[in-house]
Amino acid sequence: MNQVIELLNAHRSIRKFTDRNVEQSTINTLVQAGQSAATSSFIQACTVIQVNDRSKRTSIAEWSGNQSYISDAHTFLVFCADMNRHQISCDMHKADMLSGYTEQFITATVDCALFAQNVAIAAESEGLGIVYIGGLRNKIDLVTETLKLPNLVYPVFGMCIGYPDQDPEVKPRLPLDVILKQDHYDDRDDPSLIAEYDQQVKAYYQNRTGGQKDMSWSEQISGMLQKEARPHMLHFLQSRGFLQK
């Protein structure tokens, strides 16, 4: 197994960071690595906001469910799906931009995710730790206002970056046979494979929490999917010019 695959397989979310400085030149290099990710039709639809202002970071931490590591990490980035620069490009050529299509929303969001994952891998290759912050979508309107995002731009997620001050285990993933299908979708064996996997996850949580958490993956998912999932998002995205048609 080569070093790149070993690095990918060793990913952990890091939520405790040292106070060691991360040079701005390093952050610039990570973001440039993000720019090298695949991009649909060369649209390059991701903008990154580096949030340095401590008061803004404190507010975003609170809005994200009191995730204190947003404040504690040396660097906090917000990855935004951005179709505004495409409006600018159309204006430069006096062309009417047909915006609001669901396909544009999908491609911009996927572009943003691919970009961010490149940043994550690059960061880990430099000995840094990261954790994604989807919780900023809890109060996405306040985050948008705080970051002064224009129309046709929305914050997809954040990312904390810093030198790790913890060494958690790698969380076990679903069996390959649940994920990789051959020629067609066949889920006949999935229930038994997931049941076996559930025992791995239970053991992982027991070890990680010193016996405080006793939950399987399927229990966690079934509980999560009985709750509303940020129902405000559709109205918010439509108000920003996305998902019009």
- Segment 37-54, tens digit of pLDDT: 999 999 999 999 999 999
Residue tagged 């701005």 (tokens): 24
Ramachandran sector of residue 172 (left: φ over 0; alpha: ψ -120 to 50; beta: rest) = beta
Amino acid at 7: L
Is residue 76 within 8 Å of residue 159, measured between CB atoms? yes
Angle between the N-to-C axes of helices 24-35 and 102-125, in degrees from 0 to 180, rounded to the nearest 10: 130
Strands 75-82 and 46-50 come out as antiparallel
Per-residue confidence of the chain (245 residues) as pLDDT tens digits? 899 999 999 999 999 999 999 999 999 999 999 999 999 999 999 999 999 999 999 999 999 999 999 999 999 999 999 999 999 999 999 999 999 999 999 999 999 999 999 999 999 999 999 999 999 999 999 999 999 999 999 999 999 999 999 999 999 999 999 999 999 999 999 999 999 999 999 999 999 888 899 999 999 999 999 999 999 999 999 999 999 99
